[in-house]
Amino acid sequence: AAGPGRPGPTADGRLPRTAAADTLAALQTAVLLGERMWIGYVNAEGLASQRVVDPVKVEGGFVTAYDHLSDEVRTFALHRITGVAEVEDSA
C-alpha cells in the first residue's frame, strides 16, 4: 500500500501506473466512500491527461465520475485508465 501523505502525481507530474485490479479496487472504494481521485487517462486519440474525478459508479468495465476538468459527469473506460491516486486534502 502507498505510504501516508503521498501526493497524486509524482515529482515529474505523472501519476504512478497501477495494475488494472488495483485501479478497479481503488475506484470502487472511492465510490463507496465518496472520495476524490486523480486518474491518468488515455483517450481514443491516444492523448494522455490527468484529471481529478469524483467516481459515482463502476460497472461493466467503465467508471462514471464527475470530471473536474470538463466540469461534467463522464464515463471513462477502465482499460484506458493508466493510474489512480488519492487526492490529498489540502487543509
Query: What is the rounded distance in angstroms from the CA atom of residue 53 to the CA atom of residue 89?
Result: 14
Question: Which grid cell is 19?
Answer: 495494475
- The whole-angstrom distance between residue 8's C-alpha and the CA centroid of its chain comes to 10
pTM of the model: 0.80
- Given a contact cutoff of 8 angstroms between Cβ atoms, the answer to whether 65 and 54 are in contact is yes
User: CA–CA separation, 57 vs 71, rounded Å?
Assistant: 17
Q: Match 464515463 to its residue by C-alpha cell.
A: 75
pLDDT of residue 3: 41
Q: Convert the pLDDT of each residue in 33-85 to its tens digit.
A: 999 999 999 999 999 999 999 999 999 999 999 999 999 999 999 999 999 99
Give pLDDT, residue 90. 59
Write out the H or E segment, with its range, that includes residue 59.
strand 48-59
